[in-house]
Amino acid sequence: MTITTTDRTTVPGTGTTGTYGHYPQLCGTNTGPHSYVDLSCTSTDEATISFTLGDSSNNQYKVKVTQYSCNDQCIASREGCFQYFTGVTGTINSYNLANSGQLATLDYKNCIRQEAGYCCIEYTVISWAVSAEACAAAATRCASASTCTSEYIIIPNVINSGNVDLNYDRFCGVNLNPVGFPAANLPIRTCQCPFEFSHVTGITALGGTGAAATEDGFSIKYRQIPGGC
């Protein structure tokens, strides 16, 4: 899916003091997901949600807007978290997963609150089709900056217990595992805090400018791992 030129939702830069985080254009079906927009401590800051409806299709939207105190426990303690998850376990889905269509123009961060006594986090695939890489061999591995160039996930400081010299933080393709091949999904684990999971896609189209690719997006289950921090 490329940038939609008819129907989309945008959150422009907010406030006069500064703009925080990345706010992508969204479209498709997004029933249930939440999104956070950061504001400064200036009371005159504003957040604006804009809808562009340029065709005759049956567009529907219903958005709940909630303001939170900077001291509220259910918001991130740092800027730039477009989605923020709490709890020892949970599920992270890409936007428009219900339509099996990954969106272009994405560059945002999912943040997971570190729960007390939990020092590491593990991600396990429910579904994964982030880009066209086949993950079948080292040359087409679904990890590293050299092969994951347009659509990818960033998970900082992933642990590779099989080979400590192969540590990647960028993942793409049709499978997810610590070294990017063979073509099989394996759990991804990191002990770097804060827990972050970023999603980046092509600026003008999936697979690069003008390219066509079938990319559904992802659904990932996470679980935090207890230990001595």
pLDDT tens-place values along the chain, 229 residues long: 334 445 556 665 444 344 445 667 777 777 878 888 877 777 777 777 777 777 767 778 788 888 887 777 777 677 788 899 999 999 999 988 888 888 888 889 999 999 999 999 999 999 999 988 888 888 889 999 999 998 999 999 999 876 656 789 999 999 999 999 888 999 999 999 999 999 998 866 665 544 445 688 999 999 999 986 6
Alpha carbon of 82 to those of 19, 109, 114, 211: distances in Å? 13, 6, 17, 27
| pTM exceeds 0.95 | no
Cβ-based neighbours of 129, under 8 Å, separated by 6 or more = 102, 174, 214, 215, 216, 217, 218
User: H helices within 52-194, ranges in order?
Assistant: none
Sheet holding 89-93, edge to edge: 89-93, 217-226, 118-129, 188-190
